[in-house]
Chains A and B, each alone.
Chain A
Amino acid sequence: MDLSSINPILLLASIMAASTPILLAAIGELIVERSGVLNLGVEGMMITGAICGFAIAVGTGSPAIGFIGGAVGGALLSLLFALLTQVALANHVASGLALTLFGLGLSSLLGQGYVGVKPPPTPKLDIPVLGDIPLLGPILFSHDLMVYVALALVAGVWAMLKYSRAGLILRAVGENHDAAHALGYKVVRVRIAAIAFGGACAGLGGAYLSLVRVPQWTEGMTAGIGWIALALVVFASWKAGRVLLGAWLFGGVSVLQLNLQAAGVAIPVEYLSMSPYVITILVLVIMSADKSRAPASLGRIFHASQ
Chain B
Amino acid sequence: MTDALLTISGLTKAYPGVKANDEVSFDIAPGEVHALLGENGAGKSTLVKMIYGLVKPDSGQMTLRGKPYTPYEPRAARAAGVAMVFQHFSLFDALSVSENIALGMETPPPMRDLARRIREVSETYGLPLDPHRAVGNLSAGERQRVEIVRCLLQEPRLLIMDEPTSVLTPQEVDILFTTLRKLTAEGVAILYISHKLEEIRALCDRATILRHGRNVGTCVPAETSARDMAQIMVGASFAAPAKARHDAHGQVILDVSGLSVASPSPFGTALKTIHLTVARGEILGIGGVAGNGQDELLAALSGELRTAPGAIRFKGQAIGQLSPTQRRRLGLLAAPEERLGHAAAPNLSLTENALLTGAQRRGLLTRGFIRWPETRAFAQKIIDRFDVRTPGPDTAARALSGGNLQKFVIGREVLQDPEVLIVNQPTWGVDAAAAAAIRQALLDLAAGGAAILCISQDLDELMEISDRFGALNEGRLSDIRPTADLSLDQIGLMMGGAHGMEVAHV
Contacts and interface: CB of A to CB of B under 8 A. Distances in A.
Interface residues of B, number: 22
Contact of A168 (B49, B78, B86, B102): B102
Contact of B73 (A168, A175, A184): A184
B90 A168 contact: no
Contacts of A176: 89, 91-93
B75 A179 contact: no
A165 B90 contact: no
A165 B91 contact: no
A296 B93 contact: yes
A184 B55 contact: no
Contacts of A255: none
Contacts of B104: 183
B103 A183 contact: yes
A143 interface: no
A282 interface: no
A261 to B, nearest CB: 44
A182 B89 contact: yes
A179 B91 contact: yes
A182 B78 CA distance: 12
A282 to B, nearest CB: 25
A267 to B, nearest CB: 42
Interface string A163-193: 0010011011001101110111100000000
B399 interface: no
B131 to A, nearest CB: 14
A179 B55 contact: no
Main secondary structure of the interface of B (DSSP, over half): loop
Contacts of A179: 89-92
A183 B90 contact: yes
B291 to A, nearest CB: 16
A184 B86 CA distance: 13
Contacts of A171: 92, 94-95
A4 interface: no
B21 to A, nearest CB: 13
Nearest to B77: A184
Contacts of A295: 94
B162 to A, nearest CB: 11
B79 to A, nearest CB: 11
Contact of A293 (B78, B91, B94): B94
Nearest to B49: A306
A277 B317 CA distance: 52
Nearest to B88: A178
A183 B74 contact: yes
Contacts of A175: 92-95
Top 8 A-B pairs, shortest CB-CB distance: A184-B74, A178-B89, A175-B92, A179-B90, A182-B90, A176-B92, A179-B89, A184-B75
Interface of A: 165, 168-169, 171-172, 175-176, 178-180, 182-185, 291, 293, 295-296, 306
18 contacts: A165-B108, A169-B103, A171-B92, A171-B95, A172-B95, A175-B92, A176-B91, A179-B89, A182-B54, A182-B90, A183-B90, A183-B104, A184-B54, A185-B103, A293-B94, A295-B94, A306-B49, A306-B54
Given A165-B102, A176-B93, A183-B90, 8 more contacts: A175-B93, A176-B89, A176-B91, A178-B89, A180-B103, A184-B54, A184-B74, A306-B55
